[in-house]
Structure formats: C-alpha cells, structure tokens
Structure 1
C-alpha cells in the first residue's frame, strides 16, 4: 500500500483529531462557496479596486485584533468555547451577507467575519497541536490543512454554479448553514484539549519560545506570505472576469482546482516535513508560489491562467502546514495558544496591508502589477526564513521546559 494512504491512519490515531478535521471541512466548504464571488458581489454594488482591497484588509485588520486575545483566552478557558463562539458569529455574519444591499454593509460584515476568524482558526490549529505527538505534528497539520482545502476546493465550484443558477446571495445562505453545522459538531463531539491555566496571561515573546529569533523570523515570513496572498487574492477573480473575460462558473472552477491541488499536496508535504525538515519544505513552497504567481500576469485565456494558478497552489500547499507545525514546535503546550495568536497576528497584518496595495496597484498601475508585487514579496520572505529560523527538536525541549 502506498505510504500516502498509510498516513491517513493518523486521522484515527488521536482522539478528536478526525472530528476537528471534519468540522473544518464542513465550515470551509461553506467558506469556499463565497471566496471567488465576494469581489464580484461587491463589484456589482459599485466597488472600485481600492474598495475591494479595503474589504479584504478589514478582514485581516479585525482578525489581527482578536488573534492574540483569542489565543490568551484559549490558554485560560480552553479551546472548545472559543471555536464554538467564533463559528456562531460566522453563522450570523454569512446570513447577513446574503441580505446586504449596500457596500457599507459588506464592510461591517467583513470586519465581523475577520474578528470571528481570528478566534476560530488559530485556536483550532492549536487544538490539533495539543492532541498529537511532536513527531507527528507536521503530518497532522498537513491533514488538518488538507480538510481546509477540501472545502475550499469543492466550495468555489458549487458557489459559482449556485450563483449562476440562482443568485449571488444564495452561496452566502448555504455558508451560514454550514458554519452552524460545524459549530454544533464541535459542541457535541469534540472534547476540550487543554486544561484551564492559572498562569497569568502574557503576550511578551520572553519565555514563550525556545528560540526567540526563530519565532520572530517565522512571524516575518508569515507576514510576507499573507501580504503576498492579500495583494493577489481579491484581484484574481477580477483579472479573470474583466481582463480575460471568464464568467463566475469558470472562476469558481479555477479556485476549485487550486483547492484540490492544495488538498493533494498538503498531506504529502506534511509527511515530507517530518522527514527532511519543515524549513526546507517551506522554502521550496515559497519558491513555487513566487514564480508561478508572477506567471499568472501573462495569462490570456482560461487554460493559461489555470496552469500557473494550479502550480502556485502547489507552493501554497507546501508552505502553510509546515509553517504552522514549525510555530507550534517553538513553545510548550501551556503557551501554545499565545504563540499561535502572535503568529496569527503577524499573518493578519499582511492581510491588512496586502489587499490595500493590491487594489491600489490594480487601479493606478496596471491590472498585472499585483502579481509581480506578490512574487517579489514571497522571495523576500524566503530569504528572511533562511537567514533567521532554526528548526527546533521539540520532543526534548517540551520535556525540559514543562
């Protein structure tokens, strides 16, 4: 039997890991429904490129604000309450997206969505790190991220078809229902993974990590990756729609293909990271991302945008599971929520700044400029990672500091 299929046994090796992965799958299926459609939805209400950048930046801004407090609270009161509460907010916000009639409605709701995201996803990744052994952490993060991408792979295709068959609002209502289902699944099936801590909460880097310089370096790299993604992601649907002439269904298929690619790559890259090192896998993924994002700018048809988009997705699939595993290996279980909150804030800061620059570049420079900016920034992130980050052998370090 091929090793990749044997690796699926990890889903059943640790209690609640399968339930957490399935909850993420259900939630991200709903989220994937609206990813490629929100810029077009806003465009129909009269949004400019800069406004679209602001719409995406608000998500990152409020996510940054809630990530660190969310991590501190997760260490203090537990992971489960934070995840269920955040998904309940998601449920309401997605429904209200579907009934919105003005651009300022979208801005308010996007801010609320980002706040909920800052609580839910870093805490969910922390819960996964809580329940798996350090030697399996890269593989586990790969499978956890794979469920994320399974939803994002199928969601855009279904969302594009639903929008074409019914209305642009329909996918938002479906997303609301799926977010509620995910919240109920965690509430009923997932056990708390962390005991309540009596330690006084802190967000200082002192004492949180085995290697402070490495933590700073991985945070800077996370910022550059999110910044680069933020530059391109709100623009890519518009580039396909307005420059190449693709309809909503075709754009949904492209995003779906990217999601399928990440889905297939992540478990393989996670297992590879456990064997050859997380840092090597991250650098390789960043190189793929930078090169093929730049090549997207030369696309002139469905085929020529699909191919580099899929290759870019390979890089994204290699990068994030290993980054998450590397971050969680830099601290102890008792401080993991706070460290993930700090890392998430660095990533979210990139999501604030990137879309603003991408929207401005799309309007003021050229429709292809955001792709060149993305490629350059990703390569800078790779250089920072190489220069500053030392991989941690966490199995022994956790024992020493616990």
Structure 2
C-alpha cells in the first residue's frame, strides 16, 4: 500500500465519523419520543462508549492477525446495520440493544484505519499521516450535526437511515478501492509475539502517553457536556450560537491537522508540538470563565481546535512509533483511552458544574497543567522509536 492512498483513508475516516456525527443532535429527541428519561438517554450515550472501550483492543489484536481491511469492512457494515435498526426501533429496550451492538461492531473500524496509517508511514512521517486522518474526523463533526439537523424535520429516524446509508457506501468503497496495508508475512509474528491485553499495553512503558490521551479526552468531554449550560445560564446564548462556535472550532482543528501538523513536526519535533497543544488546551480552559461575549467564546474554543489537532496527531504518532505491540492492538488501546475519557468526563463535568459553573473548566485547565509538567519532565524516558 502506497502513501497515495492516504486521501482514501482520509475519505474513509471522514465518512465513518460523518455517520456518527449526523445522529448526535437527534438521538436524545428520538429516544425521548419513545418515552426515555434523561437518565436513560445518558445510558444510551454511555453504553456505546463503554462497548468501544472494551472491544477496540480486541478488534485491533484481530487486525494484527488477519489484516486491516477485513476489520474496517466488518466495522462499517456492522455500523450500517445497527444504525438502520436503531432508526426502526419502537421502544427504548430495542434502542439500547442496537446501541450496545453498534458500539461493539463499530469499534473495529476507526482504530484499524489508524493502524493502517502506522503501517504505511515511517516513524518520522507518522504525525503527518495521523494529522490527515484527524482532519477527516474533525470535518465529519463539523458537517455531520448540520446534516442531522437538516434531516430531522423529515422524522427522527431519517438521520439514522442516512447514517446507515453513508456507512454502507463506505463499506463498498473499502471493498473495492482500499488495499491491504499489512502483508501476510508480518501477521503471524505480530499475532504470536506482540500481543497484550489492554492493561499490559496501557500501563506499560508508554503509560505517560496513554495517560495524556485519556486526560485530554476526559477534560474535553466534560467541557462538551457543560459548555452549552454555561453559555446559556450566564449569557443566554442558544444552541444555534453553540453550533456556530463549534463550527469555528472544527474548521480550525481540521485545518491544523491537515495543513500544519506535518510542517510543525518536521521543524519542531513531536514532543514540542504536543507541548504546544497542551498549552493551548490549558489556556483555553482557563479562559472560558473570563470570556463574556460570542466572539471571545468562539476564539477560546478555537484554541481547543488547534490544540486538539496537535495533541491527537502527535500523541498517536509517538505511541505508534514506540510501541512493542502490534499496531492494531496499539491503535485499539488509544481508542479505548479516548472512549474511557468520553465515559467518565461527562459524569465528572456534570457533577462539578452543579457545584460551580466554572468548575469543569478550571479542573480541565489544572489537569492540562499537570499533564504538561509530567510530559516535559518524563518524555525523554519513553522507549526509543522503532525503526521503520
């Protein structure tokens, strides 16, 4: 597989997460329509992330054995079927069952795309590849919710059918256009010598890097949960205003990941670019309670857009460069840390917000400073980069 297929991987990442983004603004209303309480709606969101957390490393390990393409295709096909079934659901019990099943099968897709990038790009160029994939994901969360909102007047089920259709089209794109990135001769050795369960992978020599990926996801998920409440309670901003702010953030994030990461890493190196990303996150968190108008808040969110691109691309690259595990296992573990953060972050953010409205953002800023100090004092102890 040649690097010329990176645009195809970008498209696959974009289309995969576009289907997910489409249903984000619709799912609560759809579930409420069948009688679900706010707590039950929270369970729908959490159950998907819990399944992603549990199953991403399992599918990643399997991709080290049988190749990347079958797992990506399986994940997209499962995503398609479960989302279409969710659209047809007539009760909360059905919704929860399809949501759990969807989390299990779709966990095979995106982490395996990340593993493909690690297969194709040598260590010194990997951050650029991860940045391109991250840009696809970022853009999907710019356009997905907008598409979902546009389709919702036609019925709450329609966005889910659209998501399933997009996933099915992506499935066929993978079948006919995407080559395999892991040669057969490399699979047996990985399966035999480079396997590890989630605990041994995450708490091994790269625990610092996995910790950063978790804390960043945890803190930002807390922000996502409470930011809308914050700007409405204090300033009266509406969901439309919030959508515009996140649109600005998503565009900036995609621009940084697609256009700047490669150049920045080439000039500064991954550790310094990751440091800059953590600084931007810290400044963003501490600035939110100080911002008092639309543009100040939008500018603050733009710091997260830029920082997110830097942290995710370089953090993923640094882990995949240094791992002693198969790239599938490694990418699955990264995905699990992200999912765990998205499970716990909203719970913590909501709890702290009840105590003080600015609390989630101050906690997020403190966590970023802690991660920044730990990274700058300990990153030189990380394992050396693998060759090739």
Same fold (TM over 0.5): yes
Q: TM-score, normalised by structure 1?
A: 0.82
CA shift at 1:194, angstroms? 0.7
Judged with a 3 Å threshold, the aligned counterparts in structure 2 of structure 1 residues 175 and 240 are, in CA distance, closer, same or farther, namely farther
Structure 2 counterpart of 1:291: 283
2: CA distance, partners of 1:256 / 1:355? 21
Query: How far 1:46 moved relative to its partner?
Result: 5.8
Give the one of 339, 354, 367 matched to 1:377. Answer: 367
Structure 1 CA distance, aligned partners of 2:155 and 2:2?
Answer: 43
Q: Which residue is 1:154 aligned to?
A: 143
What residue number does 2:272 align with?
Answer: 280
Task: Provide the alpha-carbon RMSD of the alignment.
Answer: 3.2
TM-score, scaled to structure 2? 0.85
Provide, for residues 27-73 of structure 1, a one-character-per-residue CA deviation record: whole Å limited to 9, x for no partner.
Answer: 2223222334445655776644x666544433332111112111110
Map of 1:3 onto structure 2: none
Residue 201 (structure 2) pairs with residue 203 (structure 1): no
Q: Residues 246 and 95 (structure 1 numbering): CA distance in 2 closer, same or farther, change over 3 Å?
A: farther
Change (3 A) 1:55 1:244: farther
Q: Is the 8 A contact 1:223 1:347 kept in 2?
A: yes
Are positions 1:180 and 2:168 aligned together? yes
Superposed counterparts of 1:102-181, under 5 Å: 103-163=92-152, 165-181=153-169
Q: State the partner residue of 2:343.
A: 352
Gaps of 5+ in 1: 1-11
Q: Which runs of 5+ in 2 are unaligned?
A: none
Cα 1:205–1:149 shift into 2, 3 Å = closer
Deviation sequence 1:125-151 (CA, Å, 0-9, x none):
010111123232111111121122122
Give the Cα–Cα distance (whole angstroms) in 1 for the partners of residues 243 and 62 of structure 2.
37
Name the CA shift for 1:304/1:55 in 2 (closer, same or farther; >3 Å): farther
> Aligned match of 1:219 in 195, 210, 213?
210
- Deviation, structure 1 residue 388: 2.8
Contact residue 249 and residue 301 of structure 2 kept, 8 A: yes
Shift of 1:206: 11
Choose the corresponding residue for 1:264, options 255, 269, 275: 255
Q: Give the corresponding residue for 2:64.
A: 75
State the 1:83 CA deviation. Answer: 0.7
CA drift at 1:181: 1.4
SS at match of 2:108: helix
Q: Which residue of 1 aligns with 2:224?
A: 233
- Is residue 320 of structure 1 aligned with residue 312 of structure 2? yes
Answer whether contact 1:162 1:170 (CA < 8 A) is retained: yes
Taking a change above 3 Å as real, the CA distance of residues 84 and 139 of structure 1, as seen in their structure-2 partners, is same
**Alpha-carbon distance between aligned partners in 2 of 1:162 and 1:221, rounded to the nearest angstrom:** 37
d(CA) in 2 for partners of 1:226 and 1:248? 23
Q: Contact 1:53/1:234 (CA < 8 Å) preserved in 2?
A: no
Once residues 103 and 304 of structure 1 are traced to their aligned partners in structure 2, the CA distance between those partners, rounded to angstroms, is 40
Alpha-carbon distance in 1 for matches of 2:345, 2:199: 29
Residues 230-257 of structure 1: per-residue CA shift (max 9 Å, x gap): 2222334455567655555444333322
Pick closer, same or farther for the CA change 1:348–1:32 going to 2, 3 Å.
closer
Give the number of aligned pairs.
Answer: 380
